Amino acid sequence: MRPPVIRKPRDGWAVAPNMPDYEAARASFRWEQARGALSGLPGGRGLNIAHEAVDRHALGPLADKVALRWLGRSGERRDITYRELRALTNRFANVLRGLGVGREDRVFVLLGRTPALYVACLGALKNRSVFAPLFSAFGPEPLAARIGPGDGKVLVTTRALYDRKVAPIRARLPSLRHVLLAGGGAGEGTLDLDALMRQASDQLEIEPTRPEDMALLHFTSGTTGKPKGAIHVHGAVVAHHATGWLALDLHPDDVFWCTADPGWVTGTSYGIVSPLTHGTTSLIDEADFEPERWYSILRDERVSVWYTAPTAVRMMMRAGLDVARRFAPPALRFIASVGEPLNPEAVFWGQDAFGLPIHDNWWQTETGGIMIANFAAMDIRPGSMGRPLPGVEVEVVRRDGDGVTVLGPGEQGELALRPGWPSMFRGYLHDEERYAKCFAGDLYLTGDLARRDADGYLWFVGRGDDVIKSSGHLIGPFEVESALLEHPAVAEAGVIGKPDPIALEVVKAFVSLRPGFAAGEAIERDILGFARKRLGAVVAPKEIAIVSALPRTRSGKIMRRLLKARELGLPEGDTSTLEAGTP
Ligand code: AMP
């Protein structure tokens, strides 16, 4: 029998946790004090993420410490010290400056996990431009739906990615002035970033930066409509730093590995910013997941703090305990996970495999940083997301008309947060209405369902909407349906997340065909291939079913909930809004 609680020692730690007493920290924590852990720009000229992450260390005793250790896909290695990172990011900022790119201009980056991505992010921030990451596995349509509405002025990418994914949509991106190619191969309509970097100065003074200046633009998906661009500001670095300290227990001598791609918010907040603000050495692995590769990295690179995702943990579990024990990472002392529910079995597997439980934590694109966590020195209740971060107030609520009712322990409702932490998003770009809809009174409504137990631990119940979580990636059904509808044979499309033992959910499409097209394997393959080409492998449906018609409400909306209930053989629930004549 597994115990319901994993007890943590009160003392005798090999490395003393940053927060030894949760209750005491919660009582005394103040965000203004957390700001005091950072230096701010010299001369009181404001707060800039890249200064806190890079220059602060590069100009001090950590200058020659490795900031980033890059592991290439084919076995290459490259260490970049804080001093070198300062020079590289200065050069990139000067490249932007030379092109007339300035404050709050959007710099989109479509790159694999190579040093150029990290330099572009931090260099853009130094120039007070906005870093907007794109996942390199996106197809042309998701790229157009982000760069266009995001007013992308600059795109940093490679020749290969450009030819395959951007050239076909370039005409639809009138705001895009400069395409900078890392790794050479520039031609008409593109510039050679490596050459520009060589010509640029490595000296730079960061211009005054206000904490409220826009810094990061992360696109996220909703149930309806196109992806939304969540705006984050330079002041968010206070939360990136504090959460790294409190929830990931980062110490300066850690070797930290965040396995998330910077195309998603975790890979930026914790794959780039947070560890650097702590002066740690951060690992970057260019390659895709492969259990033995990951075990070797944990062992050979002496990773001490590892931040990963439940899908990866489940894949490692599948590879077997003996593999984990064979590799025995010698320096590992803290493991955390985010992005999807972490089942108790996985928490215990960490103990069996590494002698360390896995610490689940919760947050989302809009919150910019970890909000709820199982902290290093706090007992774990396996299956729970943990307790709110000091400085963060969480409620579980029921929506009542325009307002909400706050629920008590044990009651299930929507997870809501009281804004006031520095990395809270400041809006959805060009979409005030959708932003306003996220609030009721003084609460931000997260869209997730949860309950809280009598001791304040929060338990994830599910999402309150139709958004799909597949391999840790949030996927909007509308974006997928829109692409399917462009196939000449498709009359209607409805998309759901179908439960999957490894990826949590996989995207499944239901389509009806236009007259003149016959159902069958050939057309299914053709539609799946079409979707994959437009959307890219992460977003495209993995399964398809051809149906005669899709269930719709009287107002014409496809009832995804009903499609899902039928797929799972569950009760259909309230079908009173179903349009007569639809199945
Ligand atoms: P994203 O904005 O892409 O980071 O996705 C955020 C969403 O992922 C949340 O709203 C949740 O639905 C889900 N999520 C994140 N962390 C957890 C967790 N620890 N347990 C369950 N779901 C999570």
Work out the pLDDT band at 574, boundaries 50, 70, 90: confident
Mutate which of 243, 463, 471, 474 for ligand 1? The one with the most ligand atoms within 8 Å of its CB, which is 474
Residue 448 Cβ inside 6 Å of ligand 1? The answer reads yes
Mean of the pLDDT values across residues 369-378? 98
Q: Which of 416, 424, 321 is nearest to 370 (CA)?
A: 424
d(CA 497, CA 501): 12
d(CA 9, CA 356): 13
What is the structure's pLDDT at 265?
Answer: 97
Q: Would you say residue 543 has pLDDT above 90?
A: yes
* Residues 66, 58 contacting (CB under 8 angstroms): no
* Ligand 1 midpoint to CA 342 (Å): 11
Over the stretch 484-542, which tens digit does the pLDDT of each residue have?
999 999 999 999 999 999 999 999 999 999 999 999 999 999 999 999 999 999 999 99
Q: Would you say residue 556 has pLDDT above 80?
A: no
* Residues 374, 385 contacting (CB under 8 angstroms): yes
Work out the pLDDT band at 200, boundaries 50, 70, 90: very high
Q: Would you say residue 577 has pLDDT above 80?
A: no
Total Cβ atoms within 10 A of residue 228:
24
Q: Which of 64-68, 220-224, 552-556 has the highest mean pLDDT?
A: 64-68
Q: Would you say residue 383 has pLDDT above 80?
A: yes
What is the structure's pLDDT at 2?
Answer: 85
Minimum-distance ligand 1 atom for the alpha carbon of 265: 4
Minimum-distance ligand 1 atom for the alpha carbon of 473: 3
* Residues 130, 214 contacting (CB under 8 angstroms): yes
Total Cβ atoms within 10 A of residue 348:
17
Mean pLDDT rounded to a whole number for the chain: 95
What is the structure's pLDDT at 223?
Answer: 77
Mutate which of 362, 371, 381 for ligand 1? The one with the most ligand atoms within 8 Å of its CB, which is 362
Minimum-distance ligand 1 atom for the alpha carbon of 360: 19
Give, using CA atoms, the residue closest to atom 5 of ligand 1.
364
d(CA 44, CA 56): 14
* Ligand 1 midpoint to CA 208 (Å): 34
* Ligand 1 midpoint to CA 473 (Å): 9
* Ligand 1 midpoint to CA 362 (Å): 6
Residue 341 Cβ inside 6 Å of ligand 1? The answer reads yes
Architecture of domain 468-568 in this structure: 2-Layer Sandwich (3.30)
Q: Is 86 exposed, middle or buried (0-12, 13-18, 19+ CB in 10 A)?
A: buried
Percent of the chain with pLDDT over 70: 100
Work out the pLDDT band at 544, boundaries 50, 70, 90: very high
Q: Would you say residue 578 has pLDDT above 80?
A: no
* Residues in the chain, total: 583
Residue 220 Cβ inside 6 Å of ligand 1? The answer reads yes
d(CA 415, CA 461): 10
* Ligand 1 midpoint to CA 198 (Å): 41
Q: What are phi and psi of 31, to 5 degrees?
A: -60, -35
Residue 364 Cβ inside 6 Å of ligand 1? The answer reads yes
Total Cβ atoms within 10 A of residue 439:
13
* Beta strand extents in 286-333 (DSSP E only): 305-308
What is the structure's pLDDT at 487?
Answer: 96
What is the structure's pLDDT at 417?
Answer: 98
| Boundaries of every domain in the chain | 22-449, 468-568
Over the stretch 163-196, which tens digit does the pLDDT of each residue have?
999 999 999 999 999 999 999 999 999 999 999 9
What is the structure's pLDDT at 575?
Answer: 74
Q: What is the 3-state secondary structure (H, E, C) of 157-181?
A: ECHHHHHHHHHHHHHHCCCCCEEEE
* Ligand 1 midpoint to CA 448 (Å): 8
Over the stretch 139-161, which tens digit does the pLDDT of each residue have?
999 999 999 999 999 999 999 99
What is the structure's pLDDT at 155?
Answer: 98
* Ligand 1 midpoint to CA 160 (Å): 32
- Rounded to two decimals, the pTM is 0.94
What is the structure's pLDDT at 392?
Answer: 98
* Ligand 1 midpoint to CA 140 (Å): 25
Q: What are phi and psi of 151, to 5 degrees?
A: 55, 40
Q: Would you say residue 285 has pLDDT above 80?
A: yes
Residue-by-residue DSSP string for 201-212: -S---PPPB-TT
d(CA 269, CA 241): 9
* Beta strand extents in 453-489 (DSSP E only): 458-463, 468-470, 473-475
Residue 365 Cβ inside 6 Å of ligand 1? The answer reads yes
First CA to last CA distance, the chain: 46
DSSP letter at 288 equals P
Over the stretch 21-48, which tens digit does the pLDDT of each residue have?
999 999 999 999 999 999 999 999 999 9
Minimum-distance ligand 1 atom for the alpha carbon of 266: 4
Mean of the pLDDT values across residues 335-343? 95
Over the stretch 60-109, which tens digit does the pLDDT of each residue have?
999 999 999 999 999 999 999 999 999 999 999 999 999 999 999 999 99
Work out the pLDDT band at 557, boundaries 50, 70, 90: confident
What is the structure's pLDDT at 402?
Answer: 85
Residue 151 Cβ inside 6 Å of ligand 1? The answer reads no
Q: Would you say residue 227 has pLDDT above 80?
A: yes
d(CA 531, CA 554): 28
* Ligand 1 midpoint to CA 190 (Å): 37
Spatial CB neighbours of 284, under 8 Å, sequence gap ≥ 6: 68, 69, 70, 71, 113, 115, 118, 271
Q: What are phi and psi of 413, to 5 degrees?
A: -165, -160
* Ligand 1 midpoint to CA 45 (Å): 35
* Ligand 1 midpoint to CA 24 (Å): 27
CA distances from 73 to 107, 112, 296 (A): 26, 10, 14
Percent of the chain with pLDDT over 90: 92
Place of tokens 């014409």: 556
Residue 334 Cβ inside 6 Å of ligand 1? The answer reads no
Residue range 22-449, CATH number: 3.40.50.12780
Give, using CA atoms, the residue closest to atom 23 of ligand 1.
340
Element spanning 109, H or E = strand 106-110
* Beta strand extents in 302-411 (DSSP E only): 305-308, 334-338, 358-362, 372-373, 387-388, 393-400, 403-406
Over the stretch 433-452, which tens digit does the pLDDT of each residue have?
999 999 999 999 999 999 99
What is the structure's pLDDT at 571?
Answer: 82
CA distances from 263 to 113, 472, 486, 493 (A): 9, 12, 26, 27
